[in-house]
């Protein structure tokens, strides 16, 4: 029957095919975003604020030294506040304050001579209290700790996998030319909430910044009690400008990390909506159009259906035949979209999207055939054949 009406249904299949390709790609973007968000390595940023300064103009050693001393005094002052749970000083460790491509990354050499790509991060003992990283093996390092004269280091699971290490805790890894002993493994350190955590190595900040500053900026993070973010910001600005006399040469900053995470998430939601909403409208218009085609088809074939019933077919058999016809049309339409997502994306992302598209296709086929099937169930074969 479909072959005999191929001209009519070719247009329907082509229209639905384009719609299901758009829907499949939109669903895949949603699944990919949710999958990336739920990957390991998301740090606890609730009630955590990032703060620090940037020196304007050309680098000057005396100015940099003075700024470090000023920030040390500010850190000590803020650390005594009853609403402050902990303060951590970091270097390219704090998440959500810059795009992922602006974090420090380079090649890393394992003691056995194997070289891999990794993101380098420096921080201190307090980072464990402030951010609560997910430690899956070993432990976090301590301030001033040395193991047989070597610096400690914490590595991510992905870096361990890339190095092909087994039982990494206690093994030596070369940070540049400096050997470090692995004290722990974390599930990851995410830099943006909607991307997977890169392979990373975390070392004490004094290894990266022996003078206490890179020369032009410092970045710290404080975990405060809920509701005290504004009070912390006021105390920080007031105290820093009190101890730093040359305020015109430095720019302070303070960022609630939950706000930074929210901005990344909002951007992703906008991107999803920009593809999902048009696909949804296309799907709705396609359903309405297919229902219209089915109604016209049923109206033209009512006498055919009446004749089938008069020859012994039940109404149920006729309705099932009509429903199967719609399932075949919608299945053929959805197939290209399913093939595209399965061929482009990895299985853990494409399979849920493909399964959803298939379920959606079946739902659409029944929606498109529902009212026309109801018309078939209500017809009177005797009257139709008498008029014939």
Pair of tokens at residue 226: 């809920």
Residue 382 CA, chain-centre distance (Å), reads 61
- Which residues does residue 116 pair with via DSSP β-bridges, in sequence order? 108
Pair of tokens at residue 309: 């019933």
Longest distance between any two alpha carbons in the chain, whole Å: 105
For 235-375, list the strands marked E by DSSP.
250-256
Parallel, antiparallel, or unpaired: how do β-strands 84-90 and 151-156 relate?
unpaired
CB 234 within 8 A of CB 228: no
Query: By three-state DSSP, how is residue 47 classified?
Result: coil
As a whole number of angstroms, the distance between CA 30 and CA 77 comes to 45
As a whole number of angstroms, the distance between CA 253 and CA 169 comes to 37
**pLDDT by residue, tens only, the chain of 388 residues:** 555 555 666 666 777 777 777 777 777 877 877 788 888 998 998 899 999 887 776 666 666 777 778 888 888 999 999 999 999 999 999 998 888 888 888 887 776 667 888 999 999 999 999 999 999 999 999 999 999 999 999 999 999 998 888 899 999 988 878 899 999 999 999 988 878 899 999 999 989 887 666 667 788 999 999 989 899 999 998 888 887 765 457 778 888 887 766 666 666 676 666 766 776 777 677 667 666 666 666 666 667 767 777 776 677 777 777 777 777 777 777 788 778 878 877 777 778 878 887 787 777 777 777 767 777 666 666 665 555 5
- Closest by CA position to 186, among listed 174, 178, 197: 197
Q: For the chain, count helices (H), then strands (E).
A: 10, 11
C-alpha dihedral sign at 343, 349, 354, 357: negative
CB 146 within 8 A of CB 218: no
DSSP string, 178-190: EEEEEEEEES---
C-alpha dihedral sign at 288, 289, 290, 294: positive
> CB burial class (10 A; 0-12, 13-18, 19+) of residue 380?
exposed
């Amino acid at each position: 029957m479909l072959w005999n009406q191929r001209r009519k249904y070719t247009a329907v299949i082509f229209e639905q095919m384009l719609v299901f390709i758009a829907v499949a790609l939109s669903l895949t973007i949603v699944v990919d975003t949710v999958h990336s968000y739920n990957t390991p390595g998301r740090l606890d940023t609730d009630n955590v604020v990032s703060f620090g300064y940037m020196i304007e103009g050309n680098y000057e050693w005396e100015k940099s030294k003075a700024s470090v001393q000023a920030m040390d005094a500010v850190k000590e002052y803020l650390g005594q506040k009853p609403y402050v749970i902990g303060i951590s000083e970091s270097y390219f460790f704090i998440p959500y304050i810059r795009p992922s491509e602006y974090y420090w990354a380079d090649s890393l050499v394992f003691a056995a001579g194997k070289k891999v790509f990794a993101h380098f991060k420096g921080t201190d003992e307090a980072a464990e209290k402030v951010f609560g990283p997910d430690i899956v093996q070993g432990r976090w390092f301590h301030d001033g700790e040395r193991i047989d004269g070597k610096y400690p280091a914490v590595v991510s699971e992905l870096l361990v996998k890339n190095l092909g290490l087994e039982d990494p805790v206690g093994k030596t890894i070369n940070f540049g030319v400096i050997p470090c002993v692995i004290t722990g493994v974390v599930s990851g350190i995410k830099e943006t909430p909607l991307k997977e955590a890169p392979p990373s190595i975390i070392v004490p900040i004094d290894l990266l910044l022996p003078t206490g500053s890179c020369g032009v900026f410092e970045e710290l993070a404080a975990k405060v009690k809920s509701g005290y973010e504004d009070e912390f910001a006021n105390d920080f600005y007031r105290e820093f400008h009190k101890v730093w006399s040359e305020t015109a040469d430095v720019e302070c900053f303070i960022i609630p990390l939950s706000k930074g995470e929210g901005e990344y998430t909002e951007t992703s939601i906008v991107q999803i909506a920009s593809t999902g909403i048009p696909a949804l409208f296309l799907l709705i218009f396609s359903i309405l159009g297919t229902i219209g085609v089915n109604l016209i088809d049923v109206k033209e074939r009512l006498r055919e259906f009446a004749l089938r019933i008069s020859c012994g077919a039940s109404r149920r058999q006729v309705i099932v035949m009509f429903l199967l016809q719609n399932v075949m049309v919608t299945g053929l339409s959805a197939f290209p979209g399913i093939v595209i997502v399965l061929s482009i994306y990895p299985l853990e992302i494409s399979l849920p999207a493909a399964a959803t598209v298939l379920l959606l296709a079946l739902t659409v086929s029944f929606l498109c055939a529902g009212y026309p099937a109801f018309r078939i169930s209500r017809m009177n074969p005797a009257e139709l054949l008498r008029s014939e």
